[in-house]
Structure 1
């Protein structure tokens, strides 16, 4: 009879993060102690009384639902998550929830898919799978109704494309993935039929990277879920794989990019095909049908997309400005390159903490596919299997204790102030009227029509008319083209190079000395120590008074300036008048050539006589002598050449022009 008199106070809902941040630590600890005491009291009630008292207490479902939701939302932000009191409350909440859903008449508010998804995220796959299996075994109709409503809603929104609520669908899918990861029954429920999968494939065509990422995670978890549980559904799995293969083939025939499809991305970034092959082989139910469809899907893998990408890690250079703590320095930079790998694993396992994922990556050499495979198979080593899966990675914040003592310095002088034209004005002296100050436009509502209608600032019409009357349009402007004062200064026609004849003669003498030395031996101007100590270099330095650098620079500039080289060669040529004869520069035939050779002379136009255009032999070119029409009068060969001058012009149509002119003149025409 004593048990009938048990009366426990109600539990208040778990507050939001914004409320918790405004509470003092002492107040928060008192709330945690109160919740722990009440949950322990409910767990201590015997089973018959638990059904009568706790199962009918409306405050328990409200507290548990709010606790799971807020803990899941602030899973990575709660600074008190590692305290002993928080861990104790977390354990008591799980035990109380497990006991409530295990009774025949559980509160329906705890059987919604949102609560189950939050439980799976907070407690991980192992504990979440136990709870979901219990719910499906005792309350399958209720959970199917909850999942059916969200399935139809997501299918409708995803099929709507850009007209649907894409952001809301992304949030719903991200939350649903927690349940799909831990519950094979939920994955099988969503894979039943083709409407949900077709909606995912259709919505993936939209260029929405965050939503695409969530869709890949959803379809991956649904496919893997068909192979898990006590009764894997391999026949349904093969049917779904055939549907994905058909969708990929249809996308391949379309106008869009072949690699920009859900199937190509799925088989490239996730180890889904490898996992399916291993699980089918392990079950012993492998068939040629399953192997063929897996091989077909393997062909849609993106080129170069398999394997873990190599990332270059740029290490910070130690500039030696202080004594660094070696341990802290290594711990703070060793995991920087793993941030992207951690995000890849957390996309599929959001309940895992970053610290636990770092341990997994270190165990499997940063291979995300191997990490995901072991997590799905539950084949982690004992050291990792018993570790805290919610552990967060924290960078060390403790400063190094080995810093050198700071040296005292005198106060640096005050920086000079800059002055401008606005100094000491009314705004600088703060004497301006506050009514004249405004942000932005003085009158934001004023339009262009208002400005045109406002005549207060318009110019005076009388002033404009008087200015026009004073203007004489017939008055020519003065032509100041040749005014020296207006040109901008006179031009000095003197040659600045001839202003100092002594300097010019001295420079000319130096140039001659340097040029003759350069022409005799350019190695004198080499830029090495041996040449600088040589006698030849010393003689040049003494003659010119120039340094070694100036001499070497002069030689370098001369070698780079061919025009200067030619100019100096012209000025300082070594010609002294010893030339006694002038050689002919025109071409003449070699004496002794036969007269019958047509190559001996050139006809007009520069061709060799006896040769026609295009390399063919000329007409009538052979057998000519070596006479010249410009030779000495009375010479036999010259006379013959003059007689035969017009002989071969018929080949060039000169006779036609000559005869045509003769006929024209005979008819009485005039020349020209």
Structure 2
């Protein structure tokens, strides 16, 4: 077959040129490219090696076609049947070229294969990469070696002369190839220079480059696990742990360490744990280092964009009460956009509409969506979907419900204003358990009397029915601490160590009973012991008969007295040695007056 029998290919146009082509003309262009590709695919192997592999226009078309589709997504081809067929035929032609004995050098480069991996996904490209001929594999290794050298030099240089923008662009592009080919991940992680460069550059770089560094590190480690290189994987995990320990012990900011962000924002530990469980030759030390790396996880999640503040319309309560359906939908929309932003942090080329379809497919599970994207294990209907599709704008309903239509009642917002519940008034003296708080409330509680009370002052003072609880007031005053704003649990039953009759705290002890208790306590404190022998003794029986109190009340009174020095001093002053009588009056005149009187 002569070369002149196959026409040359035209380059695939860029976006600005494609926009100027009419739809019918565009379909005609697709059909023309399909006819030329079919011509190359139907020739014999000998003619293919002699003609197709040496056709520079064919190589230029494939490079331009794959690049434009990788940048804009499969939607740039349109929705016609010719577009879908062209996408399929280009992969078949690329596979035949790269698996031939004399492949074109322009196609056996990491840039082209990375674009192919992005366009067709991991599963379809795996067949192509696994069947690369020796010549294609050699050209690919040469291009990868040049890329690795560039990355190591610039990663180590960092801000001191390093091409940070070039690093970011190359890493984002080669990550698709690393994801599709485990042998590429093994190539980059051979030795420690590349990983050391990723760790050192992460400390001083910008957030977009940090995301690329994390994605590259994650894909390389998962690639080692998928390639069953467990020994090399374990060595790299130990290197990461050592770097994280050194960073934690140093003076640098904890947020500038790659390892905590790696294990927090990516499902690395879960993926590797699953791979180790599936592998038969996994070393035991690999599982231990995974557990140690799990200790570096940050509390609260990974790299998520801050939520934008949404100005909500304040409901002033005017007009008819209607359920705000637009607000409920808006809150759901905000939640979905937060999930979409988390996925876009690792996959900035994906459109919001495509990510929304993924979230619908996997029940709003963000981690599962990221895992399926990294594995390229999406369902067929999502594999062929437009990955750059944007989410449709949210339009709230414009027509309010009328009298003839029955409005729907969605879930109300938790931020919607609600009426304040009425205040609950309670009488602290009626509570079953009295503590310092209830006693203090009793001190401040008053009763409002409208008009003049009946009776004179003597009658009111003699009436003890409305008098405050003296024992409770004294107990509260003794226990109150103005510097302490927390509840005092000194006299709780659990802290006293036994059962105390709390009812006595709210009862008014007669003066005679209080005097008997205190004087008995001063004379024979053993009578108040809390044991069975003391309760059966004659002294306790006499005290019960004299005061009319139970054993629990007597013992509780003694416990509270021992813990309350102020109450003890009060009772000592009232019922102590002094009986309250004054049998002799002392002289009150000034000194020196006696001499003056005698002189007179």
> What TM-score, normalized to structure 2?
0.61
Q: Does residue 354 of structure 2 align to residue 392 of structure 1?
A: no
Distance in 2 of aligned mates of 1:154 and 1:641: 119
Give the equivalent residue in structure 2 for 1:59. 57
Specify whether residues 327 and 79 from structure 1 end up closer, same or farther in structure 2 by C-alpha distance, changes over 3 A only: farther
Q: Conserved in 1, the CA contact under 8 Å of 2:114 and 2:177?
A: yes
1:236 to 232, 238, 260: 232
Specify whether residues 136 and 188 from structure 1 end up closer, same or farther in structure 2 by C-alpha distance, changes over 3 A only: farther
1:253 to 249, 270, 273: 249
* Structure 2: gaps of 5 or more residues: 402-449, 453-581
**How far off its partner does 1:79 sit?**
5.6
Distance in 1 of aligned mates of 2:31 and 2:377: 37
Q: Does residue 235 of structure 2 align to residue 219 of structure 1?
A: no
Number of aligned residues: 419
Give the equivalent residue in structure 1 for 2:298. 302
Q: Conserved in 2, the CA contact under 8 Å of 1:308 and 1:367?
A: no
Give the equivalent residue in structure 1 for 2:95. 98
Give the equivalent residue in structure 2 for 1:463. none
Specify whether residues 397 and 248 from structure 1 end up closer, same or farther in structure 2 by C-alpha distance, changes over 3 A only: closer
Q: Does residue 289 of structure 2 align to residue 293 of structure 1?
A: yes
Instruction: Please give the per-residue CA displacement for 1:77-108, whole angstroms capped at 9, x wherever unaligned.
Output: x5654444433322222222122112111100
Give the equivalent residue in structure 1 for 2:166. 168
**How far off its partner does 1:126 sit?**
1.5
Q: Conserved in 2, the CA contact under 8 Å of 1:187 and 1:226?
A: yes
> What TM-score, normalized to structure 1?
0.55
Distance in 2 of aligned mates of 1:4 and 1:316: 72
* Structure 1: gaps of 5 or more residues: 405-519, 523-591, 601-624, 630-635, 644-672
Give the equivalent residue in structure 2 for 1:151. 148
Q: Does residue 95 of structure 2 align to residue 110 of structure 1?
A: no
Instruction: Please give the per-residue CA displacement for 1:578-617, whole angstroms capped at 9, x wherever unaligned.
Output: xxxxxxxxxxxxxx997745xx5xxxxxxxxxxxxxxxxx
**How far off its partner does 1:343 sit?**
4.2
Distance in 2 of aligned mates of 1:642 and 1:257: 95
Q: Conserved in 1, the CA contact under 8 Å of 2:305 and 2:342?
A: no
Q: CA RMSD in A?
A: 4.2
Structure possessing the higher radius of gyration over alpha carbons: 1
Distance in 1 of aligned mates of 2:451 and 2:305: 62
Distance in 2 of aligned mates of 1:252 and 1:297: 13
Specify whether residues 336 and 18 from structure 1 end up closer, same or farther in structure 2 by C-alpha distance, changes over 3 A only: farther
1:195 to 193, 199, 217: 193
Distance in 2 of aligned mates of 1:197 and 1:102: 32
Give the equivalent residue in structure 2 for 1:183. 181
Specify whether residues 94 and 63 from structure 1 end up closer, same or farther in structure 2 by C-alpha distance, changes over 3 A only: same
Q: Does residue 264 of structure 2 align to residue 268 of structure 1?
A: yes
Q: Does residue 129 of structure 2 align to residue 132 of structure 1?
A: yes
Instruction: Please give the per-residue CA displacement for 1:436-490, whole angstroms capped at 9, x wherever unaligned.
Output: xxxxxxxxxxxxxxxxxxxxxxxxxxxxxxxxxxxxxxxxxxxxxxxxxxxxxxx
SS of aligned partner of 1:187:
helix
**Which one has more relative contact order, counting CA pairs under 8 Å at least 6 apart?**
2
**How far off its partner does 1:273 sit?**
1.0
Q: Conserved in 2, the CA contact under 8 Å of 1:332 and 1:396?
A: no
Give the equivalent residue in structure 2 for 1:209. 207
Give the equivalent residue in structure 1 for 2:551. none
More helix by share: 2
Distance in 1 of aligned mates of 2:386 and 2:179: 15
Specify whether residues 352 and 210 from structure 1 end up closer, same or farther in structure 2 by C-alpha distance, changes over 3 A only: closer
Distance in 1 of aligned mates of 2:20 and 2:348: 28
**How far off its partner does 1:318 sit?**
11
Distance in 2 of aligned mates of 1:74 and 1:383: 20
Specify whether residues 98 and 400 from structure 1 end up closer, same or farther in structure 2 by C-alpha distance, changes over 3 A only: farther
Q: Conserved in 2, the CA contact under 8 Å of 1:355 and 1:392?
A: yes
**How far off its partner does 1:401 sit?**
9.7
Distance in 1 of aligned mates of 2:220 and 2:373: 16
Q: Conserved in 1, the CA contact under 8 Å of 2:199 and 2:258?
A: yes
Distance in 1 of aligned mates of 2:326 and 2:595: 109
Specify whether residues 83 and 303 from structure 1 end up closer, same or farther in structure 2 by C-alpha distance, changes over 3 A only: same
Give the equivalent residue in structure 1 for 2:497. none
Give the equivalent residue in structure 2 for 1:69. 67
Distance in 2 of aligned mates of 1:201 and 1:20: 42
Q: Conserved in 1, the CA contact under 8 Å of 2:179 and 2:375?
A: no
Q: Conserved in 2, the CA contact under 8 Å of 1:122 and 1:351?
A: no
